Structure 1
Amino acid sequence: MSLPTKVTRDGLLEKRSSGLLQLWKKKRCMLTDEGLRLRNCKGPAADHAPSPCAAWSSGSRAKELLFERMVTVDCVEYKRDLVYFTVVMATGKEIDFRCPQDGTAWNAEIALALVRYKNLQAVQSGRKRQISAAHLGSTEEEDEAL
């Protein structure tokens, strides 16, 4: 995701760590048409940033969850004004997240963006097959004419 991409949503999301204690950690997230980019939110400046994009200027490395490696957004549960959901990767790895229930939940945004990405890939694949078939068909017709 090094090229500029359209940002669908930008803000805070909590991710459960994969360590022994499995603590919830706040992440600054940016949802694009290619996937989800996560950065650590350290210190009070990240929580009180004037805009969600202000935290992106720091030098910390972002973790990228690309749609091409995602399978689904799963396990939606609602507890105490929070939405809990899981992103399932193609490797089988499950990444747990939570966000506030108010407004449009992150899980819905991510799921819709994933569906759009997969549909676009299917359409492009279908077009390539049609072009290939048309090209092969015209070659056979030309061979018969000779």
Structure 2
Amino acid sequence: MSLPAKVMRDELLEKRSSGLLQLWKKKRCVLTEEGLRLHNCRGGGGGDARSSAWSSRAKELRFERMATVDCVEYKRGLVYFTVVMATGKEIDFRCPQEGTAWNAEIALALVRYKNLQAVQTGRNRHLSTAHLGSTGEDEEL
């Protein structure tokens, strides 16, 4: 059983729907060390993410399936950005421009995750190479 991922940020964010009208819908977004969880709003309540009625089910955008965060545009006090998944699917978001922008936090968390994965892969490769080379067969006497 794995431990719950550390929450790095928990606030409202708007996601563009994939339907015909492509409406902006408020989501409670929880940024963790493993990715981004998107919760739907069940009621009409505004306010901050923790005081509104949110569904317990969440859509997860895991870093292992993300390729990049890009397409940043600043317009009328909002930051527009796109999360690009490894499959090529693009998911559009927007958030208020003041404070630390979500796109920057998601991008930094994604880079941190990918770097940790690369280090782990390098360690595993080094350990397997060291283990294979430890038989002593190709050592010079």
Secondary structure, in 3 states, of the residue corresponding to 2:29? strand
| Post-superposition CA distance 1:38-77 (Å, at most 9, x none) | 01123244x235xx34558x55410000000000001000
Q: Could you tell me which residue of structure 1 aligns to residue 88 of structure 2? A: 92
Q: What TM-score do you get using the length of structure 2 for normalisation?
A: 0.90
| CA distance in structure 1 between the partners assigned to 2:58 and 2:94 by the alignment | 19
Retained in 2: the 8 A contact 1:15–1:98? yes
**Paired residue type of 1:48:** G
Secondary structure, in 3 states, of the residue corresponding to 2:134? helix
Unaligned runs of 5+ in 1: none
Q: Give 1:22-101 correspondences, 5 Å limit.
A: 22-45=22-45, 47-48=46-47, 52-55=49-52, 58-101=54-97
| CA distance in structure 1 between the partners assigned to 2:9 and 2:125 by the alignment | 33
Secondary structure, in 3 states, of the residue corresponding to 1:20? coil
Q: How many residues align?
A: 139
Instruction: Give the number of the structure whose residues are more often helix, by fraction.
Output: 1
Q: What TM-score do you get using the length of structure 1 for normalisation?
A: 0.88
CA-based RMSD: 2.0
Unaligned runs of 5+ in 2: none
- Percent of residue pairs bearing the same amino acid type: 78
Runs of 4 or more, structure 1, over 3 Å off, are 52-56, 142-145
Secondary structure, in 3 states, of the residue corresponding to 2:132? helix
Instruction: Give the number of the structure whose residues are more often strand, by fraction.
Output: 2
Residue 103 of structure 1, aligned match among 99, 122, 130: 99
